[in-house]
A and B are shown apart, each in its own frame.
Chain A
Amino acid sequence: MTTKYDRIMGAFLGCAIGDAMGAPTETRPIALIKEHVGGGDYVRDYCLPLPDTLSAGQPKGQFTDDFSVSYLSARAFARAGGITRQAATDALIEWSSYDRYYINHSGPTSKRAIALCKGEPVDDAQDYACCRNAWATNGAGMKAWVAGVFNSGNLDKAIDDAILMCQVSHDNPVALSAACAVAAGVAAGMAQNSTVADVVKAGLYGAREGYARSWRFARSSAGASVEQRIRMAVTIGTCYAHDFDRLLQEMTDIVGTGLNANEAIPAAFGFFVAAQGRVMDGVYMGVNCGNDTDTVAAITGALCGAFSGAGEIPPQHLPFLSEVNDMDIRQAVEEVDRVTG
């Protein structure tokens, strides 16, 4: 039997490995990942980022925003005894004090939110617009797995907590729909005896509910449906599970694997299905799928890890990533395990 601790550890490690391994492949299309980063093949290990990537200058295994924001948020929630808006805000501000994350890795939507939280001036030239469609990014979905980990088996609470957690930075229905899909998918995966289909159904439910619930108060945005794109991604994941080349190409070409919330998050669900929840398989898909690879790999890793636990993750990843990034991941997992009863 897989324990709750083991599933929390799986989600943490899945996200961490995906983020760190995807950092050097980020922004490239599949062909150039193989050519420039993987020495002619797919990337299946930590690499040194090239000078033309966002992670240039970082050592092998260093995180970008995806895991670092998630980690600091999870620890803040553990300290607060649960997910609160205040703790989410505190974590975001704390995160922005780390130059190695904030300077190269703050996405457009998070950057603005942090400035607002700090009372700093922001560009308000388009504040008149009823919709801010460019803000519907994947920065909420990348960290929302934490809300799933805190709410094993409780989809509705995971959805509400994901909104609470992510509204600070991504106050629009498309980004929050994606966040709630991830939170609900992880919450379903955390439950004992859950199946791959349970996680997918929970993701679809989260996407739908997240959109509907947040529409009532969030700043509106127009954009393709996260829920429908999850359906497309799961179809592709099912059809091409046994053809790695085709799986990755179809996913990035049709669903998309980019900065927008309605690309990266659906793609992660598609890879979760193709990998049948196996952590390393899912992570490798994300790392090599092109475009916003680190985020897709991080979310896929978290979904898979919550579902499968950390049991099959090779043991060297935890000490390696903890050391390179100067983070006590094991302690964070213990804190979350304790506070979630």
Chain B
Amino acid sequence: MIAYDKILGCLVGAAAGDAMGAATEIRTRAQIHELFGGDVRTFEKPPKDTFARGSEPGQVTDDFSVAYVTARAIADNGGAVTGEVAKQALLEWSGVEKWFARFAGPTTRAHVAALKGEAVPAADGFVPVNENGQSTNGAAMKSAPIALFSGGDLDKAIADALTVCRLTHSNQIALSGAAAVAAATAAALREGATLFDVVQAGLYGAREGERLGGAVHTNAGASVEKRMKMAIAIGLFAHDMDEAIDQIGAYIGSGLMAAEAVPAVFGLMVAAKGDTLEAICGGVNIGDDTDTVATMIGGILGALNGAGSMPAEYLPYLERQNGIELEQLARDVKALADRG
């Protein structure tokens, strides 16, 4: 039995992290402090010199929007996570200008073009053995809400994440990141789950995602699992959240690559001792790809601690600012979960 509050918490947390991070994305932590006068803890209007320029406070970017559209499509499909549903959802999402055209990352963009038959092959027919630049966080960023259909089963969550994500991120590093987030979310959904369970599930997911993803394609690049362990250690050693944010940002990084953003998520969750808002705030203020780090944290800890761990006004506010129906989706997911 998965609690409704956990399902809703995952959605609200993921949306909140993305929207809050949209204002701080691409900056260094020092630049965030300079512009906003300290750590950002509310929904700010994104400045003019960042990707989300022109957005209103509380509006999400690619991270949560693609997750939302995909989760909605899966729910409408009776909860079955299939490649076809994921593909149609991706194409539907890519038609929404405010989300895709403005925000889609490099790997997603390239693969959506390929799905639409718009990819341009190299003139000389050269196909490189690896495209190591595609080991990005665009798979992991959408994986927490997808795990809502797992019923708390780690292996199902991992399999579902790979089904959805391999359309756009067909390499073992990006998929390791996706599986880490999916498994952590699945563990978080279980009744009585602890932060320790979530971290162990995340490490299991990273390992399994790398193994299963290796059958798809093996890129060269840093290991999500090993960097997660390092980030978790830093999160444990740090004296306070402030130090943890700086140290994780410096050693692990919080950028576009899956082997930075995903480990940072786990380090920050540990440093915040599993507190939903503290950890989201860590992601929002770590610098670089803040919205992606924060959306993953929000999705996982929202599931662990429930929607009740966030201010009540987040839900109506995020629904209003984005024209999305989180409560309806949570109810539908819950009904599907109860049906089993």
Q: Chain A interface (Cβ within 8 Å of chain B)?
A: 27-32, 36, 50, 52-54, 56, 128-131, 133-134, 220-225, 227-229, 232, 250, 252-260, 262-263, 290-292
- The residue on A at minimum CB distance from B251 is A228
Q: Given that A130-B26, A222-B255 are known contacts, is A52 also in contact with B50, CB under 8 Å in the complex? A: no
Q: How far is the CB of B248 from chain A (nearest CB, A)?
A: 9
| Complex alpha-carbon distance, A291 and B171, angstroms | 14
Contacts of A56 in B (CB 8 A): 126
B133 touches A259 (CB 8 A): yes
Q: What are the nearest 8 A-B pairs in CB distance?
A: A224-B253, A253-B223, A256-B222, A225-B250, A291-B220, A130-B49, A52-B129, A29-B220
List chain A residues, Cβ under 8 A from B256.
133-134
By beta carbon, the residue of chain A nearest B230 is: A254
Contact: A29 with B223, CB < 8 Å? no
Q: Per-position contact with A for B127-144: 1 when CB-CB < 8 Å, else 0?
A: 111101100000000000
| B251 surroundings in chain A (CB, below 8 A) | 224-225, 228-229, 232
| A-B pairs under 8 A by CB, number | 119
**Identity of the chain A residue whose Cβ is nearest the Cβ of B286 in the assembled complex:** A222
Could you tell me the distance between the alpha carbons of A195 and B139 in the complex, rounded to whole angstroms?
45
Once the chains are docked, how many angstroms separate the CA of A92 from the CA of B51? 31
Binary A-proximity of B94-108 (CB < 8 A = 1, otherwise 0):
000000000000000
Report if A27-B220 is in contact (Cβ < 8 Å); known contacts: A133-B255, A134-B256, A256-B259: yes
Q: For residues 38 through 72 of chain B, which have their beta carbon under 8 Å from a beta carbon of chain A?
A: 47-51, 53
Known A27-B220, A225-B251, A252-B222; judge A129-B26 contact (CB<8 A).
yes
Q: When the two chains form their complex, are residues A263 and B222 in contact, meaning their CB atoms are under 8 A apart?
A: yes
| Nearest-neighbor residue (CB-CB) of A103 within chain B | B124
By DSSP majority rule, is chain A's interface helix, strand, loop, or mixed?
loop
Distance of A228 Cα from B249 Cα, bound (Å): 10
CA distance in complex: A28, B53 (Å)? 38
Asked if B226 is an interface residue, CB under 8 A from chain A, the answer is yes
Query: Considering only CB atoms, which chain A residue lies closest to B289 in the complex?
Result: A133
Q: Does B221 contact A (CB under 8 A)?
A: yes
Q: Besides A52-B126, A260-B257, 5 other CB < 8 A contacts?
A: A252-B222, A254-B223, A254-B230, A258-B257, A291-B132
- A222 partner, pick from B28, B221, B247, B252, beta carbons under 8 A: B28
Which residue of B29, B48, B218, B221 contacts A128 across the interface (Cβ within 8 Å)?
B48
A227 to B250, CA, bound (A): 8
For window 141-185 of B, CB contacts with A under 8 Å fall at none
Q: Chain B residues with Cβ under 8 A from A128's Cβ?
A: 48-49, 53
Query: Across the two chains, which residue of chain B brings its CB closest to A132?
Result: B26
Verify if B219 is at the interface (C-beta below 8 Å from A): yes
Say yes or no: A224 contacts B255, CB within 8 Å: yes
Q: Closest chain A residue to B249 by CB distance?
A: A224
B residues near A129, Cβ cutoff 8 Å? 26, 49-51
Q: Are A224 and B250 in contact (CB under 8 A)?
A: yes
In whole angstroms, what is the CA distance A262 to B260 when docked? 11
- Name the distance in Å between A28's Cβ and chain B's nearest Cβ: 6
Interface centre among A223, A229, A292 (most CB of B within 10 A): A223
| 6 pairs from A and B in contact (CB 8 Å cutoff) | A29-B219, A29-B220, A130-B31, A228-B247, A228-B251, A258-B222
Specify which of B27, B127, B249, B289 is in contact with A130 (CB 8 Å cutoff): B27
